[in-house]
């Protein structure tokens, strides 16, 4: 009976990373092989750098539970994102929509798409060419913060504008 496969439980072997991962340029996209450009992020004080976009302007906006409406605060960030993208036409962007873990998997996929699309529409309204903006939903598959309470959930209900190399017409 040497062929018996006895399934064993993997107990407690899950390595955990720190909860706080702000401003990981391109990480979200690269983790999923979405093709983020591999270029230097530059300095947050250089207004033409991706680091400025990610940190000084802010690459993400947050949402209320089960909502995709853009708050005034979110609109403010997105207006600046749009202005930056209009100035720095050598970049395009993939907008990632995310949900927190409270929700079923497929619904959250659709909810993430709705959030990404809300950001995309806003940026287009503000003049960014639709050809430079793509969306992708990760639903609840890629939380940033991994605790199971509202302090983490608010960080996870987000849309992140991930810059990629290649501007209009590419």
> In this chain, which stretch among 8-16, 43-51, 56-64, 160-168 interacts with another protein, using CB under 8 A?
8-16
**Min CB(143)–another protein separation in Å:** 5
164 touches another protein by CB under 8 A: no
Q: How many residues bind another protein (CB under 8 A)?
A: 51
Q: How far apart are CA 65 and CA 143, in angstroms?
A: 15
Which 3 state secondary structure label does DSSP give 124? Answer: helix
Site string (142-161) toward another protein, x via CB under 8 A:
xxxxxxx-------------
Burial 65-91 (b: 16+ CB within 10 A, else e): eeebebeeebeebbeebbebbeebeeb
Spatial contact of 5 and 41, defined as CB atoms under 8 Å apart: no
Q: What residues line the site for another protein (CB under 8 A)?
A: 1, 3-5, 7-10, 12, 14-17, 19, 21, 31-35, 66, 68, 101-107, 109-111, 113-118, 120-121, 135-137, 141-148
């Amino acid at each position: 009976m040497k062929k018996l496969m006895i399934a064993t439980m993997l107990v407690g072997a899950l390595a955990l990373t720190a909860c706080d991962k702000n401003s990981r340029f391109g990480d979200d996209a690269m983790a999923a092989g979405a093709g983020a450009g591999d270029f230097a992020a530059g300095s947050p004080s250089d207004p033409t750098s991706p680091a400025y976009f990610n940190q000084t302007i802010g690459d993400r906006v947050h949402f209320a539970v089960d909502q995709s409406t853009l708050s005034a605060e979110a609109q403010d960030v997105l207006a600046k994102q749009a202005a930056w993208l209009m100035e720095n036409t050598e970049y395009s962007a993939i907008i990632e929509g995310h949900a927190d873990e409270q929700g079923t998997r497929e619904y959250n996929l659709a909810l993430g798409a709705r959030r990404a699309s809300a950001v995309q529409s806003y940026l287009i309204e503000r003049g960014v060419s639709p050809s430079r903006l793509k969306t992708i939903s990760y639903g609840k598959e890629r939380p940033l913060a991994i605790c199971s309470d509202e302090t983490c959930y608010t960080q996870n209900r987000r849309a992140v504008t991930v810059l990629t190399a290649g501007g209009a017409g590419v």
